[in-house]
């Protein structure tokens, strides 16, 4: 697909978000649910399969335009954008990369059409970023596998039909597609969250769930090296753009408010200190978007540096999303603490980005390790 066609999809997504998502974002949060009707509309437009190949009813967007689409949806509502992150990026792209032909035929097309929603079941009650030490177990009995364990904080887990589930067993970390209708699967919604309230976040219990061998994604024992790393890489790319989405939305809210609100007989934006806040915010958003675009171009080119550049982008945009959202609240003053203004929600949603898909501290370690290798200059030989 040429760039003009891809840009048209992004432009249409902006109009869709303005009409179908942004006006109702606060309502979604109050109801603690992204409505099924909206999910169906997104599926009809192909957004749930934005990166899937056309042969599986996907739009076939390249990484750059998928990022731009993610930004448009994420600006309107972070919870709705979360569906793209887990269904399309984490589960969908991992399945598209490592699933066999039969698995793709069975699941990718229904996922594209919204008939099957997918999520990524990695995190557990006692295991977060430490993916190599998951406790959810599998054992082989005949030609089936028995799954036992629990997953927690699973975005869209409460309504997903398919769980790309990371387990451990005799041969090591293995990923299975577990289907909701399988006996022994139970989901419980998690309430009382700081943010992501509409994201159908759940705890999942697997009690002696029988899964056929054909539901293994990749090879038994290869789940961490291939499936987990692939899924998290795609997830981090999506979250990098999610950071830009929140930062951009907060910036626009900040500037609009500052041009309309007066203090001391002057519009807020005419005060020098407010101008300083706005100037810094604009710079951060532009810098973050440049990092995302670079990561997207490298991913499009299948460049070996794409993974580390994606990590850098995710780390940076999650930080600046928080910083810009905090400043947007500050510019709004008391109104910034009131849920009738969007910056209150943006502030809470921004914090989540510093935690999901690898905490900022983990990203710092990864980036530091890369820097220590890439930028070491050994002393010149005498």
* Cα atoms in the 13 Å half-sphere on the side-chain side of 84: 29
Encode 229-248: b = buried (16+ Cβ within 10 Å), e = exposed.
Answer: ebbbbbbbbbbbbbbbbbbb
Task: Note the CATH number of domain 3-116.
Answer: 1.10.540.10
Residue 16, classed as helix, strand or coil, is: helix
Q: Given the residues 179, 344, 357, 365, select the one marked as catalytic.
A: 357
C-alpha to C-alpha distance for 315 and 121, rounded to whole angstroms? 22
Sequence-separated (6 or more) residues with CB below 8 Å from residue 122: 131, 134, 151, 166, 228, 231
pTM: 0.95
Q: Are 98 and 218 in contact (CB under 8 A)?
A: yes
Pick the CATH number of 224-374 from 1.10.3720.10, 1.20.140.10, 3.60.70.12, 3.40.50.720: 1.20.140.10
Q: What pLDDT score does 104 carry? A: 95
Give just the sign of the alpha carbon dihedral 71, 72, 74, 76. positive
Per-residue tens of pLDDT for the chain, all 382 residues: 899 999 999 999 999 999 999 999 999 999 999 999 999 999 999 999 999 999 999 999 999 999 999 999 999 999 999 999 999 999 999 999 999 999 999 999 999 999 999 999 999 999 887 778 999 999 999 999 999 999 999 999 999 999 999 999 999 999 999 999 999 999 999 999 999 999 999 999 999 999 999 999 999 999 999 999 999 999 999 999 999 999 999 999 999 999 999 999 999 999 999 999 999 999 999 999 999 999 999 999 999 999 999 999 999 999 999 999 999 999 999 999 999 999 999 999 999 999 998 899 999 999 999 999 999 999 888 7
What is the chain's length?
A: 382
Which pLDDT belongs to residue 381? 81
C-alpha span between 210 and 29 (Å, rounded): 35
Q: Where are the alpha helices (DSSP H) in the chain?
A: 3-16, 25-31, 36-44, 63-76, 78-83, 93-98, 101-103, 109-112, 229-260, 272-300, 306-332, 342-353, 360-374
| Percent of the chain clearing pLDDT 70 (strictly above) | 100
Q: Which fold has domain 120-220?
A: Butyryl-CoA Dehydrogenase, subunit A; domain 2 (2.40.110)
Q: Which residues pair with 163 in a beta bridge?
A: 119, 178
Residue spans per domain, the chain: 3-116, 120-220, 224-374
- Going 296 to 322 to 19 to 257, the CA torsion angle's sign is negative
Per-residue pLDDT of 280-330, as tens digits, reads 999 999 999 999 999 999 999 999 999 999 999 999 999 999 999 999 999
93 noted as active-site residue: no
């Amino acid at each position: 697909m040429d760039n003009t066609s891809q840009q048209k999809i992004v432009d249409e997504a902006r109009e869709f978000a303005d009409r179908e998502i942004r006006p109702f974002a606060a309502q979604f949060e109050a109801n603690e649910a992204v409505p099924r009707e909206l999910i169906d509309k997104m599926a009809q437009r192909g957004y749930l399969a934005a990166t899937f190949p056309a042969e599986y009813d996907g739009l076939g967007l390249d990484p750059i335009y998928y990022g731009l689409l993610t930004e448009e949806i994420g600006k309107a509502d972070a919870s709705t954008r979360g569906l793209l992150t887990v269904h399309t990026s984490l589960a969908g792209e991992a399945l598209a990369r490592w699933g066999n032909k039969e698995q793709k035929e069975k699941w990718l097309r229904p996922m594209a059409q919204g008939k099957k929603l997918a999520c990524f079941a990695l995190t557990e009650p006692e295991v977060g970023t430490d993916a190599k030490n998951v406790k959810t177990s599998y054992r082989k009995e005949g030609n089936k596998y028995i799954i036992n364990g629990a997953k927690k904080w699973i975005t869209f887990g409460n309504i997903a039909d398919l769980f790309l589930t990371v387990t451990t067993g005799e041969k090591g970390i293995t990923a299975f597609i577990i289907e909701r209708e399988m006996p022994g699967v139970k989901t419980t919604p998690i309430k009382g969250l700081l943010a992501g309230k509409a994201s159908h976040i759940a705890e999942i219990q697997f009690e002696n769930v029988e899964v056929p061998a054909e539901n293994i994604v990749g090879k038994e024992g290869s789940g961490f090296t291939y499936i987990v790393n692939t899924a998290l890489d795609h997830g981090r790319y999506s979250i990098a753009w999610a950071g830009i989405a929140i930062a951009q939305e907060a910036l626009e809210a900040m500037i609009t408010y500052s041009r309309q609100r007066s203090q001391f007989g002057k519009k807020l934006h005419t005060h020098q200190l407010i101008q300083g806040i706005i100037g810094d915010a604009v710079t951060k958003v532009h810098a973050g978007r440049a990092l995302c675009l670079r990561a997207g171009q490298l991913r499009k080119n299948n460049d070996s540096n794409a993974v580390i550049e994606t990590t850098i982008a995710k780390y940076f945009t999650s930080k600046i999303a928080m910083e810009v959202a905090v400043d947007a609240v500050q510019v709004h003053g008391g109104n910034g603490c009131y849920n009738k203004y969007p910056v209150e929600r943006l502030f809470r949603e921004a914090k989540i980005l510093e935690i999901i898909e690898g905490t900022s501290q983990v990203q710092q370690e990864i980036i530091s390790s890369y820097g220590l290798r890439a930028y070491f200059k050994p002393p010149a030989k005498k």
